[in-house]
């Protein structure tokens, strides 16, 4: 994937800050209502669980809730997209269509927890005709 950036290290650092008490959970569980709505309605399920909910379960000494409440939401940004810049992408087909029609744009994948509102960038990458092949 062209121009791919993985934000796992940054995420781990933030979760660690919460774990040691340097950051209150409220500071990282601040999903914007629009993001929460997108996550609820069109977010993709993931096999990962929410790090903050997991932490809360650990502290309360209760078994981790098996229901997976973490969702992935994809956004696209770029001048080539014009008015579509900043839009949430609903399906893989829609993303493929945008990539075929536009020269270059950045795709951001954000994870968002439906329970606590945790949200963090997962990865970003470039798409578009300029990056095809
Ligand atoms: Zn959570």
Contact between residue 125 and residue 76 where contact means Cβ atoms under 8 Å apart: no
pTM: 0.89
Separation of alpha carbons 130 and 113, rounded Å: 34
Confidence of residue 66 (pLDDT cuts 50, 70, 90): low
DSSP reduced 3-state for 24: coil
Q: What is the distance in A from the centroid of ligand 1 to the CA of 85?
A: 28
Dist CA 40 CA 3 (whole Å):
28
* pLDDT tens track for 38-47: 999 999 999 8
Q: Is the pLDDT of residue 59 over 70?
A: yes
CA 26-88-129 angle, 5° bins: 130
Q: How far is the CA of 115 from the centre of ligand 1 (A)?
A: 5
Tell me, in angstroms, the distance from the centre of ligand 1 to residue 83's CA: 32
CA distance 121 to 96: 21
| Cβ–Cβ under 8 Å, residues 115 and 31 | no
pLDDT in tens, 108-118: 999 999 999 99
């Amino acid at each position: 994937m062209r121009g791919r950036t993985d934000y796992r290290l940054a995420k781990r650092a933030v979760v660690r800050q919460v774990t040691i008490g340097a950051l209150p959970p409220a500071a990282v569980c601040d999903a914007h209502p629009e993001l929460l709505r997108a996550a609820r309605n069109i977010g993709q399920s993931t096999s990962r669980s929410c790090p903050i909910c997991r932490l809360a379960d650990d502290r309360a000494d209760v078994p981790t809730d098996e229901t997976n409440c973490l969702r992935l939401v994809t956004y696209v940004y770029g001048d080539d997209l014009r008015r579509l810049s900043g839009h949430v992408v609903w399906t893989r087909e829609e993303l493929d269509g945008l990539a075929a029609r536009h020269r270059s744009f950045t795709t951001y994948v954000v994870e968002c927890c439906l329970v606590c509102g945790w949200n963090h960038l997962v990865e970003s990458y470039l798409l578009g005709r300029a990056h095809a092949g």
